[in-house]
C-alpha cells in the first residue's frame, strides 16, 4: 500500500473541536491510500498507541481532516484509517485525558 503526505505544503489546517465538518485550509496535501482504510469510529486511543508501539513508531499525531499518523524513523506515516473528524479527534483526546 503506497502512502505519501507532502507535509511541507501543509499550511493552516484548522478546525474547531465542536464543528462537525473540519475547516481545512491546507493546500496541495498529497494523500494516496489504497482504499482499504478502516473507520476510526470504533477505535480507541489505546488501539492507536498500541499500533504505534508495535510498528516501532515514536509519536502519534491526531489531526482533524487526516488519518491518525505515526512517526516512523523520522517520517510521518498515516495509519490505514479514514480521516479524523472533529468529533473523532475530541473523543480520542478525551480518552487519553481521562485515563
Grid cell for residue 75: 517520517
pLDDT of residue 71: 96
> Topology of 7-15+25-98 in CATH?
Beta-Lactamase (3.30.450)
Name the residue ranges covered by the structural domains of the chain: 7-15+25-98
Give 37's pLDDT tier (boundaries 50, 70, 90).
confident
3-state secondary structure of 27: coil
Tell me the pLDDT tens digit for each residue of 63-89.
Answer: 999 999 999 999 999 999 999 999 999
Q: Give Rg (Cα) of the chain.
A: 13
**How much is the pLDDT for 79?**
96
pLDDT at site 8: 44
Q: Can you give the pTM of this predicted structure?
A: 0.63
Amino acid at each position: 500500500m503506497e502512502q505519501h503526505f507532502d507535509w511541507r505544503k501543509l499550511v493552516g489546517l484548522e478546525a474547531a473541536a465542536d464543528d462537525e465538518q473540519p475547516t481545512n485550509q491546507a493546500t496541495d496535501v498529497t494523500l494516496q491510500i489504497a482504499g482499504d482504510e478502516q473507520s476510526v469510529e470504533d477505535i480507541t486511543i489505546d488501539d492507536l498507541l498500541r499500533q504505534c508501539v508495535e510498528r516501532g513508531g515514536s509519536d502519534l499525531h491526531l489531526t482533524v481532516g487526516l488519518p491518525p499518523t505515526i512517526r516512523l524513523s523520522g517520517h510521518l506515516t498515516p495509519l490505514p484509517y479514514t480521516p479524523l473528524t472533529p468529533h473523532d479527534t475530541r473523543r480520542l483526546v478525551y480518552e487519553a485525558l481521562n485515563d
